[in-house]
């Protein structure tokens, strides 16, 4: 897959195919359905499937104080977009100029002149142009006027409670993670939610309690609610079941939010190495314990809960 940074770097080899434009944060099941549809259409027009995404999220420019937290850092987003069929990804820097382009000018200058798109594939909530004035209806009208096909893909719905179905969206996944419901987030993503960061030195308290932990530097993406989770950790190409704590270590009067992972049947130094932490199930909330012994006993229970959930070889 080719990665192109900026609209100015788009060449003729990306023209004449299928175009899908969006933030793609999470690359969740809804995004995957859009990409699957785009892959099929690309096969009929014999052109590339080009995904256009933005960095940062447009709301980070328009309303930085209320911008949504990132689900998928750009490197992982690129990997996922390639996995689901994109031949090329164009990463566009979000700035005031981009956000000031009128909707019809965006169609003419980007969709037509730059990409010469034969087909544009989007979801029903797609907006474009200044003040989000363009939508799927104006896009269809533009397609009819200028001669490109438009395919609007129905959203994916997920049963979230008996008799209740919700449309999968990045916002829905953020709400689930913020409530600690990593299982629901995994269902919406089609995979466990993960964060990536380097392993840094901690206070060594886990080792003193008999459960050494890898302390992962807080990544620039959304963390699940504070609590203890079952999951897995991948480092140096190996994956291990893990008991994962997200929080401020109340027993030790901690104030900084930490990610600490105890990898089962693993005791090697990994300082400085990149670790991927994936969350699969909520175990409990953060608690204050009157003694280190009480905390030690609870951690032992947490580890056994993780071991019980871990797949057997």
For residue 158, being part of any structural domain is answered with no
Which of the listed residues 152, 186, 213 is the one where a domain comes to its end?
152
**Which of these, 225, 160, 224, lies nearest to 192 by C-alpha position?**
224
For residue 113, being part of any structural domain is answered with yes
CB contact at 8 A, 266 and 236: no
Amino acid 208: pLDDT: 75
For residue 117, being part of any structural domain is answered with yes
For residue 305, being part of any structural domain is answered with yes
| Cα end-to-end span (Å), the chain | 33
Residues of the chain with pLDDT under 50: 255, 313
Which of the listed residues 120, 152, 184 is the one where a domain comes to its end?
152
Which of the listed residues 152, 187, 205 is the one where a domain comes to its end?
152
Residues 109 and 184 in one domain: no
Amino acid 2: pLDDT: 97
**Which of these, 212, 262, 273, lies nearest to 240 by C-alpha position?**
262
Residues 242 and 133 in one domain: no
Amino acid 312: pLDDT: 56
Q: 6 phi and psi, to 5 degrees?
A: 100, 145
Amino acid 71: pLDDT: 97
Q: Would you state the structure tokens that stand for residue 11, as one six-digit string?
A: 């060449």
For residue 157, being part of any structural domain is answered with no
Residue range(s) defining the domain that contains residue 137: 2-152
Residues 176 and 144 in one domain: no
Report the alpha-carbon distance of residue 301 to residue 298 in Å, rounded. 5
| Residue 193: CATH number of its domain | 2.40.30.30
3-state class (DSSP) for residue 243: strand
Amino acid 143: pLDDT: 98
Residue 309 burial by Cβ neighbours in a 10 Å radius (0-12, 13-18, 19+): middle
**DSSP letters for 45-97:** HTS-EEEEEEES-HHHHH-GGGPPPPSS-HHHHHHHHHHTT-SEEEEEE--HH
Amino acid 249: pLDDT: 66
């Amino acid at each position: 897959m080719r990665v192109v940074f900026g609209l100015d770097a788009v060449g003729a080899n990306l023209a004449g195919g299928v175009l899908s434009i969006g933030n793609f944060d999470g690359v969740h099941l809804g995004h995957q359905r859009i990409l699957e549809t785009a892959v099929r259409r690309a096969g009929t027009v014999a052109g590339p499937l080009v995904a256009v995404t933005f960095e940062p999220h447009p709301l980070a420019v328009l309303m930085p104080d209320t911008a949504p937290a990132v689900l998928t850092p750009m490197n992982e987003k690129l990997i996922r977009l390639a996995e689901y069929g994109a031949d090329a990804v164009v990463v566009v820097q979000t700035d005031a100029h981009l956000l000031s382009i009128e909707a019809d000018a965006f169609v003419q200058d980007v969709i037509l002149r730059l990409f010469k798109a034969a087909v544009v594939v989007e979801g029903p909530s797609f907006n474009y142009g200044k003040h989000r004035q363009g939508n799927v209806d104006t896009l269809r009208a533009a397609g009819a006027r200028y001669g490109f096909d438009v395919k609007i893909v129905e959203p994916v719905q997920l049963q979230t409670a008996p008799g209740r179905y919700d449309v999968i969206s990045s916002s829905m996944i953020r709400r689930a993670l913020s409530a600690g419901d990593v299982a629901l987030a995994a269902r919406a993503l089609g995979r466990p939610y993960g964060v990536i960061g380097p392993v840094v030195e901690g206070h060594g308290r886990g080792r003193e309690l008999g459960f050494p932990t890898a302390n992962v530097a807080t990544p620039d993406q959304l963390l699940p609610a504070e609590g203890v989770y079952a999951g897995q950790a991948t480092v140096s190409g190996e994956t291990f079941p893990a008991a994962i704590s997200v929080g401020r270590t109340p027993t030790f009067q901690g104030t900084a939010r930490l990610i600490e992972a105890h990898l089962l049947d693993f005791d090697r130094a990994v300082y400085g190495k990149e670790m991927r932490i994936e969350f699969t199930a909520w175990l409990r909330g953060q608690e204050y314990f009157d003694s280190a012994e009480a905390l030690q006993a609870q951690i032992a229970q947490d580890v056994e809960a993780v071991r019980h959930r871990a797949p057997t070889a």
